[in-house]
Amino acid sequence: MSRPVKHLYKFDDFSVDVTERVLLRDGEIVPLTQKAFDVLLALVERSGQIVEKDVLILKVWPDSFVEEGNLTQNIYTLRKVLGQTPEGGGYIVTIPRRGYRFAASVRELQKEEENQVDELAYAAPRGNDEGSTEIRGLFENAEKTESEIDDPAAAEFLDFSSNDRTIGSTVGSQTIPSREAPIHSPTSAGGQQGWVSQHKTAAMVSLIVLLIAAASVASFRFIGQSWLEAGTAREPPRKMTVNALTTTGNIACAAVSPDGNFVAYATADKPQLSSLWIEHPSTSTRRTIIPQAEVRYHALTFSPDGSYVYFVALTKDIPGRTLYRVSVLGGPTKKMLEKVETGISFSPDGRQFAFRRSLNERRLSMLIVAQVDGSGEREVATVRFPETFYDPT
């Protein structure tokens, strides 16, 4: 049976037990509210990185909309509980107008809980204690050479060059065979009959083993196939429930956050008018993150950490499709890149994204990679029409 595994984050005298959801200091539980623990865990998981306030609020209060004051109060509580680092600074550093950063060095551990483990023990042969002691002594000295033995009698016992030595030693009422038993040559006197007998026995044993192996393989295939057929026959059909998130019938495009907790979608409210929404399906709560405007949304993508929504839009002010970014909590949009024909796809480390750009006048289709902030744009590959790159998303 596998042991339970505890997930821990350790820094200085503290341990954040993710499994038990408690904060420990020198092994003692430090009282914390559940929300304060969630805030601490979110910061510790990204130790050394800036965690923006919007991200913290969404992670700690995913089912409701709260004010920034709730986060500030929990940060104040954590600072009071943690105190100062050994260097005299605070564990949680405020980054003005952005968020917070956990300053201490953190180690992540996967630790098996201490359970009683059965140990294998080698039982000594039955008999008196003296015999058992001598048996252990023989095995301990089995690797010694003659030059390592001070006792002449023991040296004579281990004289492997002697053909007349006694094979074995009697201890109590038991005989312990030597590890260097004589090898009978088929040409030696009196050894021919034993050699033939041994080979006949070996041949019979080999034949029996082959027969048992063949029978085992046949039985395994028959029984295994029967189990598979029986399991397939007993497995009930899987049920799938489909729920409608909206009933307006005017959804232009949508995207699901990486953790599956949120859905962003654009609505075509009126001709040339659209708005961008974010919804929490579990609670059916939603709100507008970009109000109604003269814009057409074509592709939505969440950032890897779920804090932003990237979207490609067509506006009356800029010819061609343009890539923008907006916080999941709403607020001002940021223009990223122009001439973006498709949605974007993030690299595994979240530092870059890829998209397609088409130059109709030159009849070219290009695969472009840029940094997450829109800088460092570069062409990865180019093809000529009618060939093209499909949407990388």
Q: How many domains does the chain have?
A: 3
Whether 218 is covered by a domain: the verdict is: no
Domain annotation covers residue 124: no
Residue 383 predicted with pLDDT over 50: yes
Q: At what angle do helices 34-45 and 53-60 cross, to 10 degrees?
A: 130
Pair (268, 371) in one structural domain: yes
| Integer Cα distance of 7 and 48 in angstroms | 20
pLDDT score for 244: 83
Residue 232, in any domain of the structure:
no
Q: Are residues 275 and 373 in the same domain?
A: yes
Q: What is the mean pLDDT of residues 325-332?
A: 91
Residues 184 and 195: beta-carbon distance below 8 Å: yes
CATH code, domain carrying 75: 1.10.10.10
Query: Which two three-digit tokens encode residue 273?
Result: 């008018």
Whether 136 and 81 share a structural domain: no
Q: Are residues 292 and 352 in the same domain?
A: yes
User: Considering the domain boundaries, does residue 35 fall inside one?
Assistant: yes
Q: Does 222 map to a domain?
A: no
Tens digit of pLDDT for each residue in 287-303? 899 999 989 898 899 99
Q: What are the CA-CA distances from residue 137 to residues 131, 132, 148, 180 (Å)?
A: 10, 9, 15, 16
Q: Minimum mean pLDDT among 160-169, 192-201, 247-256: which range?
A: 160-169
**DSSP per-residue letters across 240-258:** -----S--SS-EEEEEE-T
Amino acid (1-letter code) at residue 99: G
Q: What pLDDT is attached to residue 15?
A: 93
- 303 and 276: one domain? yes
Share of the chain above pLDDT 70, in %: 67
In a domain, 393, yes or no: no
Residues 106 and 151 in one domain: no
- Is there a single domain that holds both residue 157 and residue 49? no
Cβ contact 108:19 at 8 Å? no
Residues 67 and 138 in one domain: no
Clarify whether residues 95 and 151 are in a common domain.
no
- Which long-range contacts (C-beta less than 8 Å, at least 24 apart) are formed by 111-118? 111/5, 111/6, 111/8, 112/3, 112/4, 112/5, 112/6, 113/3, 113/4, 113/5, 113/6, 115/3, 115/4
Does the residue 31 lie in any domain? yes
Rounded-to-10 torsion of CA 24, 26, 29, 34: -20
Are both 103 and 141 inside the same structural domain?
no
- Determine, yes or no, domain membership for 22: yes
**389, 365 contact by CB (below 8 A):** yes
pTM higher than 0.85: no
Domain ranges, residue 54: 5-112
Query: Do residues 27 and 61 both lie within one domain?
Result: yes
Looking at the structure, tell me whether residues 71 and 155 fall in a common domain. no
Do the beta carbons of residue 350 and residue 372 sit within 8 Å? yes
b/e per residue 72-95 (b: at least 16 CB within 10 A)? eebbebbeebbeeeeeeeebbeee
Q: What are phi and psi of 10, to 5 degrees?
A: -115, 135
Strands (E), 98-235: 99-102, 107-112, 169-171, 174-176
